[in-house]
Chain A
Amino acid sequence: MTWDWSAVGDFMPRFWDGVLVTLQALVLGSLIAFALGLIWAMAQRSPLKVVRWPVVAVTEFIRNTPLLVQLFFLFYVLPEWGVTLSALTTGVVGLGLHYSTYTAEVYRAGIDGVPVGQWEACTALSLPRSRTWGAVILPQAIRRVVPALGNYVIAMLKDSPMIAVIGALEMLGQARQFTASTFQPTEPITVVGIAFILIAYPASLLMRALERRLVR
């Protein structure tokens, strides 16, 4: 087996297309996972059973079924209901939705970790619910779960090749397509492997910087 630099060169245009898709999936998927997970976690604390119960059921269901099944479902079933999304959008939504059920657990642990005295102080001061959550509980809960959230960003990066199955060709998908026509797997796969490290490392540095800022 020999290393062919010209194959690397030939792969580059597709590679950059793939990088773009991977980064979009990672960034947008993380944002959805962070936001939606927070909503799930807060809804699970709702005083209303009609809010709590369905949220628990839906998040348990999503967390316990494979991401792959969810991606296929979104891709093939949503259009039947009249919702057509691009492959990338579907992939982003799928990743974000799936990981939101993990981040919800993380947030939940963070919220549970806020001493009950903080809630009681909010009651004693008659703070409205919005301030109780927004100014007191969440700032304390989130800063202690940033490291755990960061781990899920990395996990999501590693799961991102799955969106290729619905045609959102991220880095690995591009490499496989390239290989299918050139029969040169070594170079593109190696490039992609290195690229994953080069994305994961700054991403974890970023999360760590965020952690330092928030955890005081």
Chain B
Amino acid sequence: MSAEKNPSTTANGGTNPAVDGSELIKFDNVTKRYGSNVVLDNLCFDVSSGKHVTLIGPSGSGKTTILRLLMTLVKPDEGTIKVAGDYLSHEEKNGKLVPAGERHQREVRKNIGMVFQQFNLFPNMKVLRNITEAPVHVLGLGKDEAEQRARELLEMVGLTDHIDKYPSQLSGGQQQRVAIARALAMRPQVLLLDEVTSALDPELVAGVLDVLRDIAHSTDITMLCVTHEMNFARDISDDVLMFDAGRVIESGAPEKIFTDPEHERTREFLSAVL
């Protein structure tokens, strides 16, 4: 088991920092193709524990694919991905790397939470159950403890009054805040955010971004964020990665990237979105 190599990482509290200071997420020469379309091209990058990293880049450059790889919704064709010191897409058996089995992926993935563009709340469950379902059935929390945790999170996202409603009774912005609470209820070390405000009416965007800013500033959770909200990216990011055609063409602090980018493609992209 790869867990032996790194016993500190099997615990799944979002509060304990992972492998101290080092990379929490590590992409090593990851290639992903769809047919002849090379979506990620020998991609290498890593994210240190506690950092907030924003991925920017033109449509089709592979940003969503990166998050889906981390969520094991797609598999890499080549290369390896490590999360909290454990291989995600592979596991070690008798000293060899083999494609990871379902159970291994599930264990490593417990470190990762994701918020989707389309919220993807469970419409057949009330808000409270949406949030407690996984803590109870995946982490094995007692019902009371899970509900307590859910209430705290709902308070944080400002939805205490809506605990007994179905998702269809909420606005898009409220649904997305429930989805954020649902992801956080698993106490992940990493939170993946894929254009979480782009399905929202413009007047609802600010509420969701405020919640995320709050989380970014008040917790030590690691964030990997795809967004077209450049002001938000500037506020919360430690690092910005500019993607083009499946490669990181430029990376750095947000002040640098947004005000004085090196790369011509970055300049073009920013002038198009800003």
Contact B120 A131 (CB under 8 A): no
Closest Cβ of chain A to B27, distance in Å, is 19
The majority secondary structure among interface residues of chain A is helix
Contacts of A216 in B (CB 8 A): 166
Q: How far is the CA of A119 from the CA of B259 in the complex (A)?
A: 40
Partner of B120 from the list A121, A128, A135 (CB cut-off 8 Å) is: A121
Query: What mask results when residues 85 to 118 of chain B are scored 1 for a CB within 8 Å of chain A, else 0?
Result: 0000000000000000000001001101110101
Contact A125 B133 (CB under 8 A): yes
Contact B133 A127 (CB under 8 A): yes
Q: How far is the CA of A136 from the CA of B133 in the complex (A)?
A: 10
B121 nearest CB neighbor, chain A only: A121
User: Number of residue pairs across A and B with beta carbons under 8 Å?
Assistant: 59
Contacts of B71 in A (CB 8 A): 120, 123-124
Contact A126:B122 (CB < 8 A) given known A117-B116, A120-B73, A121-B116:
no
Contact B113 A139 (CB under 8 A): no
Contact B106 A126 (CB under 8 A): yes
Q: How far is the CA of A126 from the CA of B72 in the complex (A)?
A: 10
B117-145 residues with Cβ-Cβ distance < 8 A to A are 118, 120-125, 133-134, 137-138
The majority secondary structure among interface residues of chain B is loop
Contacts of A139 in B (CB 8 A): 124
Contact B123 A126 (CB under 8 A): no
Contact A118 B120 (CB under 8 A): yes
Partner of B72 from the list A117, A123, A125, A135 (CB cut-off 8 Å) is: A123
Contact A123 B73 (CB under 8 A): yes
Q: Which of B118, B120, B133 has the most CB of A within 10 A?
A: B120
Say whether B186 faces chain A, with CB atoms less than 8 Å apart.
yes
Contact B137 A128 (CB under 8 A): yes
B186 nearest CB neighbor, chain A only: A125
Closest Cβ of chain A to B196, distance in Å, is 13
Contact B120 A126 (CB under 8 A): no
Contacts of B120 in A (CB 8 A): 115, 117-118, 120-121, 124
Contact A131 B124 (CB under 8 A): no
Query: What mask results when residues 137 to 168 of chain A are scored 1 for a CB within 8 Å of chain B, else 0?
Result: 00110010000000000000000000000000
Say whether B183 faces chain A, with CB atoms less than 8 Å apart.
yes
Q: How far is the CA of A139 from the CA of B129 in the complex (A)?
A: 14
Contact A117 B118 (CB under 8 A): yes
Contact B109 A126 (CB under 8 A): yes
Q: How far is the CA of A216 from the CA of B125 in the complex (A)?
A: 12
Contact B124 A140 (CB under 8 A): yes
Q: How far is the CA of A118 from the CA of B73 in the complex (A)?
A: 12
Q: How far is the CA of A131 from the CA of B124 in the complex (A)?
A: 13
Contact A124 B114 (CB under 8 A): yes
A80-135 residues with Cβ-Cβ distance < 8 A to B are 115, 117-118, 120-121, 123-128, 131, 135
Q: How far is the CA of A126 from the CA of B183 in the complex (A)?
A: 11
Closest Cβ of chain A to B224, distance in Å, is 13
Contacts of B112 in A (CB 8 A): 124
B71 nearest CB neighbor, chain A only: A124
Q: List 17 A-B contacts (CB under 8 A).
A: A117-B118, A117-B120, A120-B120, A123-B73, A124-B114, A124-B116, A124-B120, A125-B133, A125-B183, A125-B186, A126-B106, A126-B134, A127-B137, A128-B137, A128-B138, A135-B122, A135-B133
Chain A residues within 8 Å of B, Cβ to Cβ: 115, 117-118, 120-121, 123-128, 131, 135-136, 139-140, 143, 216
Q: Known pairs A125-B134, A140-B124. 9 more at Cβ < 8 A? A: A118-B120, A123-B71, A125-B133, A127-B137, A128-B138, A135-B125, A135-B133, A136-B124, A139-B124
